[in-house]
Structure 1
């Protein structure tokens, strides 16, 4: 097996640098196809559905509905019933192969958002403690699943493609007739993945690179994500505590499954946190060094300029300004 990239080397986000091919190959090599099909976690009666269609060696032949159902089952099953060997075998097998399906067909942005988000949820369920993940595997997850948003097919000289599965610009029926600033789903899942698995000492450079990407809609998405992620980043909340319907919602497919472990309250013992204290401190500390009112105002002007010719764009700018105002106060950036 080829050696993985140095786990402690700098980690940055750069458009065009998507999932690393060598890291994907290592993930595939670590997990050959299990000998038996995976079964569902939730069923009534004597007959348990088995995901036999996923035994096909070509992932493009997997029915999307079967793949989505299997990912939900191997994520919700361990939460409700504890680990099972078949789920532990099928998760690492499906991960790299399903990831290669994301973004393959641009018309499936909605399905890709769901698929990617469920892959992130499954990773959190099966690898809940980053410190217990081997350094090589941890870096390979960051270099593959963590870079899906940066794949060349989602970017152009103008910035993030409008139909990219990870775009924070979405049409939300029943909310507003125009575009909404909505970093939930894939965008949020991806940012949360890095915040959890990247070593604290590398978070500052990653944040610098992410905020330096010169795209007004991407930056607006980041500000909205920071607003919605405040309970996780500042208070240590678990994703299941994030509000589903909120001005700054950042929930993603399956995030409700990620719950704080049940435990007796012990006086003097800090409650469990989804993101490690070192990671939270590093991210917030870096944020306070890099983001301030002046920079947010520059982004505001650039966003308004970019959308000047678009109809119904005032609502989008208003959402950005509300998020920016919230972030300034909640993170004490001034």
Structure 2
């Protein structure tokens, strides 16, 4: 597989991908996945990148390893969205899109990531506070959460969106609840249509809901001939309406109080969320 660059005399290739992927560190898989996503967005669909993406997707779909703050899950979602901005229409094989949702879309629910109803801290969402200030950054949505939520919202049949999101909101983990508050604040402009695609989200927003290379995902797509074609509705209006309705229906005053009580029992969650619960109330509960 070659990099997404054709201007020099020598084009970088990734021969290591032809060996044992289990033996490769995460960074050696993240780099070519980033090349695939940026190549498709910049130069259009090319069979070389599509073939390699499908291969890496099948091999790494439940590999949630992280390197320098990005996970393989995030880059796989970005690559999938870059290749299939309007859905797959089962162009690979019948049931392909359903398989993506059942594997990549459920990657956050891997048994190793959960214990007694809460996440295993360090395995899922924000994974470490090893920094000078010893903060986890719970005030931002983790990249794998943002990627998987938008993957399911975008590619599920609209008739299934309400039930799926209701189940997301019903998870009782305090860490999960904290992240849902954060994600829904950050996603508000996307859900209301003020922003059209992940490329319009700010990586330094408060809170931020961007993920690995999500800035590539524009409200348009590039053909191999270089033509730019608008995507009519990156996140369909019907889906956005379903998501907003479920939040306002499910997160009642009583439910939100239960969220805050459970979050308050985890000191660093309460401290790092600070004023964000008040922002959530203003956006969704008034």
Query: Which TM-score bucket, shorter chain as reference?
Result: 0.7 to 0.9
1:111 shift after superposition: 5.8
Which position in structure 2 is the counterpart of 1:280?
240
Q: In the aligned structure 2, how far is the partner of 1:141 from the partner of 1:230?
A: 26
Mapping 1:52-91, distance limit 5 Å: 52-56=15-19, 58-91=20-53
Aligned-CA RMSD value: 2.5
1:116 paired residue number:
73
Structure 2 match to 1:16: none
Give how far 1:296 is off: 1.4
Provide the C-alpha distance between the structure 2 equivalents of 1:91 and 1:271, rounded to a whole number of angstroms: 22
Give 3-state SS (helix, strand or coil) of 1:42's partner.
coil
The answer on whether the counterparts of 2:78 and 2:213 sit within 8 Å (CA) in structure 1 is yes
Q: CA deviation at 1:161?
A: 0.5
Aligned residues of 1:161 and 1:167 also touching (Cα < 8 A): no
1:261 maps to what in 2? Answer: 220
> How far does residue 316 in structure 1 lie from its aligned partner after superposition?
2.1
The match for 2:9 is 46
Report the CA distance between 1:88 and its aligned residue.
Answer: 1.4
Deviations 1:30-74 (A, max 9, x none): xxxxxxxx1111255211112111112x32133433311110111
Contact 1:223 1:323 in 2 (8 A): yes
- Deviation at 1:317? 4.3
Q: Distance in 2 between matches of 1:184 and 1:237?
A: 21
Task: Identify which of 227, 233, 241 aligns with 2:185.
Answer: 227
Counterparts of 2:137 and 2:108, CA distance in 1 = 19
Pair 1:162 & 2:138 matched: no
Range with greater deviation from structure 2 (128-137 or 179-188)? 128-137
1:113/1:149 Cα in 2 relative to 1: closer, same or farther (>3 Å)?
farther
Partner of residue 198, structure 1: 156
Alignment deviations for residues 61-119 of structure 1 (CA, whole Å, 9 cap, x no partner)? 3343331111011100111112211011111111021224335xxxxx44684211111
Q: TM-score w.r.t. structure 1 length?
A: 0.75
Q: Give the distance between the partners of 1:271 and 1:98, measured in 2 at CA.
A: 28
Equivalent position of 1:299 in the other structure: 259
Q: Which runs of 5+ in 1 are unaligned?
A: 1-37, 104-108, 264-269
Q: Closer, same or farther in 2 for the Cα pair 1:160/1:257, shift >3 Å?
A: same
Give the Cα–Cα distance (whole angstroms) in 2 for the partners of residues 41 and 163 of structure 1. 33
Task: Tell me what 1:323 maps to.
Answer: 276
Greater shift, 80-89 or 141-150, is seen at 80-89
Question: TM-score with structure 2 length normalisation?
Answer: 0.86
Change (3 A) 1:74 1:313: closer
Q: How big is the shift at 1:211?
A: 1.6
Structure 2: runs of 5 or more not aligned: 223-229
Determine helix, strand or coil for the equivalent of 2:137.
strand
Deviation readout 1:204-257 (Å, 9 max, x if unpaired): 111121122121111111111111111221115211111111221011011010
